[in-house]
Amino acid sequence: MVFKHEYDTVVVGAGPAGVMAALGAARRGTVLLVESAPMPRDKSCGGMLNEYAQEFLGRIAPLPSSMVRDPEHVHFRYVDWDRGIRKPTGLRFLNVDRREFDDWLVSLLPDNVEVVGLAPVTGFEQDRGGVRVSVKHEDSVHEIRCENLVGADGARSAVRRTLGEGSVSNYVTLQDFCRLEGELEPYFDCIYMRDIGDCYAYSYVVPKGGFGLVGSVYYPKTKRPHEKQDQTMEILRRSLPALGETVKREASVALHVRAATDVVAGRGRVLLVGEAGGFMSPTSGEGISYALNSGMAAGEALAGHSPDEALAAYRASIDPIARNIARKLRWLPFMESSWGKYLAGFVPTPIVSKVTEGL
């Protein structure tokens, strides 16, 4: 890779938010899209596309069937594990392989977008002329100038920290890939159980081809999360014999949005999108649709406005997304409380289904 000295836009992070930002910014000029991980990238994620994400992507390009796993569609189901309560909902997801999904998104980028993996950003500075970005690649640090920088580097965004906007706390997430030794029901189960301890938020189980994905979310500062995941897996396997041996376990983090002020558009000529900007549902943990929409909004702002005006245009366009997150935050204390989870078991299934669609 031979880096140019100047690009119109540099995007940090090659996930859905970064790709959408690069796709839009490419209409203005040259784009450098850098990713700290190898390409194609891996993302510890259930790989569920909700109907909003499917509709969004359908306007861009047909979704390739090769990335869809069996069963093709799964419905969200609320599970109170201890009380044996299962409440299926009308919320339906397309079941995809997340690595292949991200790789497909990158393939949509035009030729004036250069994509480089294993290239973390080590710092940046803004001045009147734009942004000077330091990118490390193959043991060399490259100094690159751009008119705008987009931070799409996830829940632990280095761009956000360098910008001085403060970081958002993160959940600890672990995901086991289990060989299937039978069939799992075609649901995306969201499971609450009470034996793991106060550090435990929830788990999810979903069939994906020949595997069963079991992910668990633990609150920030959880000690020995792998031991907690072992305990969770032991409990689940007692009643789900289809979950065979774990062939891979992934560890990651997810955004722990707790206040409307966690959502930040950026500063100066730097825009923040996806989890870097605080865009994720605080109630369901769904982030792909938020990443796609915030990334596209940033790309359109960059394409349609001058470098100095792009942030203001972006901030205005994401106001509905920010208000959506603020609305969901009002539900959070009830949903996370022990009494809220207990009362949910008595709510009729049609009402649970309706409420879930808004989360």
Rg (alpha carbons) of the chain, rounded to whole number: 21
Q: How confident is the model over 7-20, as a mean pLDDT?
A: 98
CA torsion 288-30-301-94 (nearest 10°) is -20
Q: How far apart are CA 284 and CA 190, in angstroms?
A: 9
**Are 209 and 221 found together in one domain?**
yes
**Are 322 and 268 found together in one domain?**
yes
Could you read off the pLDDT of 288-331 as tens digits, one per residue?
999 999 999 999 999 999 999 999 999 999 999 999 999 999 98
**Are 149 and 182 found together in one domain?**
no
**Are 213 and 223 found together in one domain?**
yes
In which element (H, E) is residue 303 found? helix 288-304
Does residue 305 sit within a domain?
yes
**Are 200 and 292 found together in one domain?**
no
State how many domains the chain has. Answer: 2
Does residue 86 sit within a domain?
yes
Does residue 295 sit within a domain?
yes
Q: Which two tokens stand for residue 109?
A: 């980028």
Q: Which two tokens stand for residue 311?
A: 């942030």
Q: How far apart are CA 144 and CA 7, in angstroms?
A: 7
Q: What is residue 94's predicted lDDT score, i.e. its pLDDT?
A: 97
Q: What is residue 279's predicted lDDT score, i.e. its pLDDT?
A: 97
Could you read off the pLDDT of 103-131 as tens digits, one per residue?
999 999 999 999 999 999 999 999 988 99
Q: How confident is the model over 212-239, as a mean pLDDT?
A: 96
Does residue 221 sit within a domain?
yes
Does residue 306 sit within a domain?
yes
Q: Which residue is listed with tokens 């920088």? A: 149
**Are 31 and 176 found together in one domain?**
no
Could you read off the pLDDT of 30-70 as tens digits, one per residue?
999 999 999 888 888 889 999 999 999 999 999 999 999 99
Q: What is residue 357's predicted lDDT score, i.e. its pLDDT?
A: 75
Domain that holds residue 205: 48-97+169-255+339-357
**Are 13 and 115 found together in one domain?**
yes
Q: Tell me what the pLDDT averaged over the chain comes to.
A: 94
Percent of the chain with pLDDT strictly greater than 70: 100
Q: What is residue 42's predicted lDDT score, i.e. its pLDDT?
A: 81
**Are 280 and 353 found together in one domain?**
no
Q: How far apart are CA 235 and CA 200, in angstroms?
A: 14
Instruction: Indicate whether 358 pLDDT > 90.
Output: no
pTM higher than the cut 0.85: yes
Does residue 285 sit within a domain?
yes
Q: Which residue is listed with tokens 């649970």? A: 352
Per-residue buried b or exposed e for 80-111, using 16+ beta carbons within 10 Å of the residue's own CB = bbeeeeebbbebbbbbbbbebbbebbbeebee
Q: Which residue is listed with tokens 């550090």? A: 199
**Are 187 and 63 found together in one domain?**
yes
**Are 89 and 225 found together in one domain?**
yes
Select from 299, 226, 310, 235 the least CA-distant residue to 270: 310
CATH number at residue 70: 3.30.9
Q: How confident is the model over 184-197, as a mean pLDDT?
A: 94
CATH number at residue 325: 3.50.50.60
Does residue 1 sit within a domain?
no
Q: What is residue 343's predicted lDDT score, i.e. its pLDDT?
A: 86
Which amino acid, one-letter code, is at 7? Answer: Y
**Helices and strands (DSSP H and E) totals, the chain:** 11, 16
Q: Evaluate whether 204 touches 189 at the Cβ level (below 8 Å).
A: yes
Q: Which residue is listed with tokens 């560890």? A: 251
**Are 207 and 82 found together in one domain?**
yes
Does residue 334 sit within a domain?
no
**Are 109 and 219 found together in one domain?**
no
